[in-house]
Structure 1
Amino acid sequence: MSEPLERQLFAADALLPTGWARDVLVAWDGAGRITTITPNAQPNGAAVATGPLLPGMPNLHSHAFQRAFAGLTEYRGESQDSFWSWRNLMYRFAARITPESLEAIATWLYVEMLEAGYTSVCEFHYVHHGQDGRPYADDATLSLALLRAAKSAGIGITLLPVLYQTSGFGAKPPRADQARFVRSTDNMLSLLERLAPATRALGGILGLAPHSLRAVPPDSLAAAVQGLTALNPQAPIHIHIAEQTQEVDDCIAWSGQRPVQWLLEHAPVDERWCLVHATHMTPQEYADAACTGAVAGICPTTEANLGDGIFDMPLWLQHGGRWGVGSDSHACVNAAEELLMLEYGQRLSLRQRNVLASSTQAEVATAMTLQAVQGGAQASGRSPGGMAGPAGLAVGQQADMVALDAQHVALAGLPAPSMLSSHVFGSHRTSAIDSLWVAGVLRVAQGRHALHETAAQAFVAARSTTIAAG
Structure 2
Amino acid sequence: MIHARIALLPEGWGRDVRLALDAGRIASVQAWQAPQPGDCQVDCLLPGMPNVHSHAFQRGFSGMTERRGPGQDSFWTWREAMYRLALALDPDDMQALAEMAYVEMLEAGFTRVGEFHYLHHDRSGRPHADPAEMSVRIFAAAGATGIALTHLPVFYAHGGFGPVPAGDGQRRFLHGLDDFVALVEACDRLATRPQDVVGYAPHSLRAASTDELRALAQALHGRPAHIHVAEQEREVAECLAFCGRRPVAQLMDTVGVGPDWCLIHATHLDGAERLALVGSGAVAGLCPVTEANLGDGLFAARAFLAEGGRIAIGTDSNVAISVAGELRLLEYGQRLAWRARSVLAEAGGSTGARLYRAALAGGSQALGAPDAAIAPGAPADLVTLSDALGLGQSGETMLDRWIFGRDVGVAQVWAHGAQVVRDGRHIAREAVARRFADVMRRLA
**What is the match of residue 190 of structure 1?**
182
What code does the residue aligned with 1:313 have?
Answer: A
Distance 2:193 2:3 in 1: 30
| Count of residues in Structure 1 that have an aligned counterpart in Structure 2 | 444
Contact 1:22 1:40 in 2 (8 A): yes
Q: CA deviation at 1:181?
A: 0.2
**What is the match of residue 367 of structure 2?**
380
**What is the match of residue 154 of structure 1?**
146
What code does the residue aligned with 1:345 have?
Answer: G
**What is the match of residue 353 of structure 1?**
341
Contact 2:372 2:379 in 1 (8 A): no
**What is the match of residue 254 of structure 2?**
266
**What is the match of residue 3 of structure 1?**
none
**What is the match of residue 97 of structure 1?**
89
Contact 1:244 1:308 in 2 (8 A): yes
Q: 1:370 aligns with which of 357, 360, 375?
A: 357
Q: CA deviation at 1:357?
A: 1.2
**What is the match of residue 340 of structure 1?**
328
Q: CA deviation at 1:46?
A: 5.8
Contact 1:373 1:391 in 2 (8 A): yes
**What is the match of residue 77 of structure 1?**
69
**What is the match of residue 235 of structure 2?**
247
Q: CA deviation at 1:266?
A: 1.4
**What is the match of residue 207 of structure 1?**
199
Q: 2:309 aligns with which of 305, 317, 321?
A: 321
Q: Deviations over 1:170-222 (max 9, x none)?
A: 11111111110000111111011111021134631100010000100111111
Distance 1:152 1:131 in 2: 25
**What is the match of residue 284 of structure 1?**
272
Contact 1:358 1:364 in 2 (8 A): yes
Q: Deviations over 1:214-262 (max 9, x none)?
A: 1001111111121112xxx2x2000000000000000000010000001
Is residue 56 from structure 1 mapped to residue 48 from structure 2 by the alignment? Answer: yes
Is residue 331 from structure 1 mapped to residue 319 from structure 2 by the alignment? Answer: yes
SS of the aligned residue for 2:345 comes to coil
SS of the aligned residue for 2:5 comes to strand
Distance 1:304 1:85 in 2: 15
Overall identity of the aligned pairs, in %: 44
Q: CA deviation at 1:45?
A: 4.3
Distance 2:259 2:429 in 1: 36
Q: 2:111 aligns with which of 83, 107, 119?
A: 119
Is residue 446 from structure 1 mapped to residue 423 from structure 2 by the alignment? Answer: yes
**What is the match of residue 411 of structure 2?**
434
Is residue 400 from structure 1 mapped to residue 381 from structure 2 by the alignment? Answer: yes
Q: CA deviation at 1:394?
A: 2.5
Q: 1:417 aligns with which of 364, 386, 396?
A: 396
1:7-46 to 2 correspondence within 5 Å?
A: 8-30=1-23, 32-45=24-37
Contact 1:78 1:85 in 2 (8 A): no
Distance 1:434 1:249 in 2: 46
Q: CA deviation at 1:132?
A: 0.6
After TM superposition, which residue ranges in structure 1, 4 or more long, deviate above 6 angstroms? none
List alignment gaps of at least 5 residues for structure 1. 1-7, 384-389
Contact 2:6 2:13 in 1 (8 A): yes
Q: Deviations over 1:22-49 (max 9, x none)?
A: 111223331x222332222233446233
RMSD: 1.4
Distance 1:124 1:49 in 2: 36
Distance 1:27 1:252 in 2: 55
Q: 1:222 to 1:78 in 2, by over 3 A?
A: farther
**What is the match of residue 307 of structure 1?**
295
Contact 1:125 1:161 in 2 (8 A): yes
Q: Deviations over 1:310-354 (max 9, x none)?
A: 011111112211111000001110111111111111101111111
Distance 1:330 1:402 in 2: 20
What code does the residue aligned with 1:133 have?
Answer: G
Distance 1:346 1:309 in 2: 11
Farther off after superposition, 442-451 or 37-46: 37-46
Distance 2:377 2:297 in 1: 37
SS of the aligned residue for 1:66 comes to helix
What code does the residue aligned with 1:53 have?
Answer: L
What code does the residue aligned with 2:182 have?
Answer: S
SS of the aligned residue for 2:20 comes to strand
SS of the aligned residue for 1:52 comes to strand
What code does the residue aligned with 1:393 have?
Answer: I
**What is the match of residue 295 of structure 1?**
283
What code does the residue aligned with 1:349 have?
Answer: A
**What is the match of residue 459 of structure 1?**
436
Q: 1:195 to 1:314 in 2, by over 3 A?
A: same
Q: 1:48 to 1:417 in 2, by over 3 A?
A: farther
Contact 2:2 2:42 in 1 (8 A): no
TM-score by length of 2: 0.97
Q: 1:195 to 1:16 in 2, by over 3 A?
A: same
Q: 1:58 to 1:330 in 2, by over 3 A?
A: same
Q: CA deviation at 1:17?
A: 2.5
What code does the residue aligned with 1:340 have?
Answer: R
Contact 1:291 1:319 in 2 (8 A): no
List alignment gaps of at least 5 residues for structure 2. none
What code does the residue aligned with 1:19 have?
Answer: G
**What is the match of residue 224 of structure 2?**
236
Distance 1:14 1:284 in 2: 39
Contact 1:10 1:46 in 2 (8 A): no
Q: CA deviation at 1:464?
A: 1.8
Distance 1:131 1:113 in 2: 28
Q: CA deviation at 1:393?
A: 1.6
